[in-house]
Amino acid sequence: MKKLLLLITVFLSLETFSQDYNPNLYYRKLSYKIDKPIDAYLFGNNVRIRNEPSTTSSELTKLPINSKITILEKTELTYSINGFNANWVKISYNGLEGYILDNFISLASEINEHSSLLISLKRKKGGTYVVLRYYDFATKEFNESEYRIKHGNVSFSFCENINLKNIDHVFKVDYHSEACGMEGGKDLIFIQESNIIETIQLSEASDSGVVWIKQDIEFPNAKNKLDNKTIIFHEESGELIDGSSNWYEKKITERRHRLINNIFTPELKSKL
């Protein structure tokens, strides 16, 4: 059984004021308000809990990765780390209250019987990356992977009830295309134990309803009766031919792909 925890339903907004890398010129805004205590998990390891919201404040204790905490309060005080301005938040852990940077808190978490998948972000010269940490309960160790995202107008979630053999997690990056020039769609990241074994990039775009394309993946379920190694790729594309007569033409594509040796066959390319 899996337990899913999203830090509010995270919405990330990145704004760039210069093409040259400078951590002070980027910031992260998480759309959350602390109206009531919120449970979350630590992404960071050996995280220092401070008496006050400052790196010079006295250390109360250190907490390991995957520790379950409660966020009590979000301050306006920030500190630059991994290319973002992280907010100091007040947290509680087993009755102890103190402050940490929210960059050390997992943006989203999925927990199953033997592992936990924790999510954070990093900004560096090559772009913005989702950082995934796979924490093994038995060994109490973690492995880390990075995945570059196309732009920062995104939200994160996990695909539930995927029913695929040997796949522990499917992490989803949704790209929002409200801003001019930003590409929509989503990336699906397939994780087996600590490894990213496959990624699928799906497009979604529309030009005022005149032309459009939308792609999606269907996982095995009781209705489609797929086996536990098969997915279905769906694509709908179309265009408006004549608005006065409400004449549209559209094309529907459907393909089945099997997971063989950790690769979907036929290959699901980044641009389908």
For 185, the token pair is 């769609």
Please state, in angstroms and as integers, the Cα–Cα distance from residue 22 to each residue in 26, 83, 124, 151, 177, following that order.
7, 7, 9, 17, 25
Q: What is the pLDDT along the chain (272 residues), one digit of tens a residue?
A: 555 555 433 434 333 322 232 222 222 334 456 778 889 999 999 999 999 999 999 999 999 999 999 999 999 999 988 888 889 999 999 999 999 999 999 988 888 888 899 999 888 887 889 999 999 999 999 999 999 988 777 888 888 889 999 898 899 988 887 654 456 899 999 998 778 888 999 999 888 878 999 999 999 999 999 999 999 999 999 999 998 999 999 999 999 999 998 889 998 764 43
* pLDDT number for residue 200: 93
* pLDDT number for residue 223: 93
Question: What 3 state SS string does the chain have?
Answer: CCEEEECCCCEEEEEECCCCCCHHHEEEEECCCCCCCEEEEECCCCEEEECCCCCCCCEEEEECCCCEEEEEEEEEEEEEECCEEEEEEEEEECCEEEEEEHHHECCEEEECCCEEEEEEEEEECCEEEEEEEEEECCCCEEEEEEEEECCCCEEEEECCCCCCCCCCEEEEEEECCCCCCCCCEEEEEEEECCEEEEEEEECEEEECCCEEEEEEEECCCCCCCCCCCEEEEEEEEEEEEECCCCEEEEEEEEEEEEEECCEEECCCCCCC
End-to-end CA distance of the chain: give it in Å, rounded: 33
Any idea what the Cα angle at residue 271 is, between residues 6 and 221, rounded to 5°? 50
* pLDDT number for residue 132: 93
**Could you give the CA distance from residue 151 to residue 271 in angstroms, rounded to a whole number?**
16
For 202, the token pair is 């799906």
* pLDDT number for residue 54: 96
For residue 221, how many other CB atoms are within 10 A of its CB? 11
* pLDDT number for residue 97: 97
Instruction: Give per-residue pLDDT as tens, 136-160.
Output: 999 999 999 999 988 777 888 888 8
Q: Of the candidates 15, 36, 194, 173, which has an alpha carbon nearest to the alpha carbon of residue 108?
A: 173
